[in-house]
A and B are shown apart, each in its own frame.
Chain A
Amino acid sequence: MIDDDSEIIESILSGDPSGYEVIIKKYQARIISLCYRYTKNYHDAEEVAQESFLRAYKSLGKFRYDSKFYSWLHRISVNCSLNYINSKEKLKEKETISDNIGLNMQEDSTSLETPYNAYNMEDIAEKIGKLYENLPDDLKLMIKYRDIDDMTYDEIASKAKLPIGTVRSRLHRARDILLREIETNTEDE
């Protein structure tokens, strides 16, 4: 299977670990979000995600391209999250003093303030959501096919009955609008 990340993976395996930063930046939000579903805690989610990326890096040589890299990374993250839960469960068993000490499976709802040096993703997501809804239908459809449904350019062209060049240019225009918004919200201070 041809993977978008195969080139980066090959460069990492040939001894240049710097390419791995691209992989991390590409998938960090989705992986942290996945880990958050298990940990229910912002801080722990990042720690488990960090462990997942690290484990994936160490096992990169075992990646056989029989699935997409993201699916493989997703599996590793689920395993890391389950390990986290198991270790917390064991810790909870040892705790006898109070039910509140130990496993914190309560949703992290008390910390409404954005932690220091972190992006408030909900704020950005809201802005992106509004922009996406206001996109012209033809552009919105391209975004849906490519970024949500994960279709290839050929598949989109065939489904929308458009030349592949038109698909590319529409997608570029649509993404440009949305990415500009993300850029303004994630600019380094």
Chain B
Amino acid sequence: MNKNIKDIENKGLLKAFLRNEYPRYMSKDFSEKVMIDIYSQKTNNPTKTYLIRVASALVFGIFTLALMDNMLSEDIQYTRTDINTEMSAPSRNVSNQIEECKKVNDKEPASDIIECK
């Protein structure tokens, strides 16, 4: 280690001991760990981060536009039938439960009238 830095470190420790301001333990590589953090943050410069952000925004925008364009340009098949014509209006007092109908007195019907319950 650079002797000058080691001297500064020892003077700092001396001051800490004399003032009773020292921890019980201290990592030998504490300062190195902080410096690694500092250098790693320095390499992540803001311009680079900004450019990456702009690039990702552009990619996202282009992708979204392409997706929307694809969706809108799809051929839509319209049917010619009118929805109203398919709906049958329910008739009043008419039952569709044919099984429920019985012939009166088990006789041959005199007419075609079938009595329903």
Contacts and interface: CB of A to CB of B under 8 A. Distances in A.
B37 A54 contact: yes
Given A33-B22, A54-B37, A179 B31 contact: no
A17 B42 contact: yes
A63 interface: no
A106 B10 CA distance: 31
B38 A29 contact: no
Interface in A6-58: 17-18, 20-22, 24-30, 32-34, 36, 42, 45-46, 49-50, 53-54, 57-58
B26 A32 contact: yes
Q: Which of B11, B18, B19: most chain A CB closer than 10 A?
A: B18
Interface residues of B, number: 36
Contacts of A119: 25-28
Interface of A: 17-18, 20-22, 24-30, 32-34, 36, 42, 45-46, 49-50, 53-54, 57-58, 108, 114-115, 117-122, 124-125, 128-129, 132, 143, 147-148, 175, 178-179, 182-183, 186, 188
Interface of B: 1, 5-31, 33-35, 37-39, 41-42
26 contacts: A17-B35, A21-B31, A21-B35, A22-B5, A26-B9, A26-B12, A27-B12, A28-B26, A29-B13, A29-B17, A30-B15, A30-B19, A32-B23, A32-B26, A34-B21, A36-B23, A46-B23, A46-B30, A57-B38, A124-B13, A132-B18, A147-B14, A148-B18, A148-B19, A175-B14, A188-B28
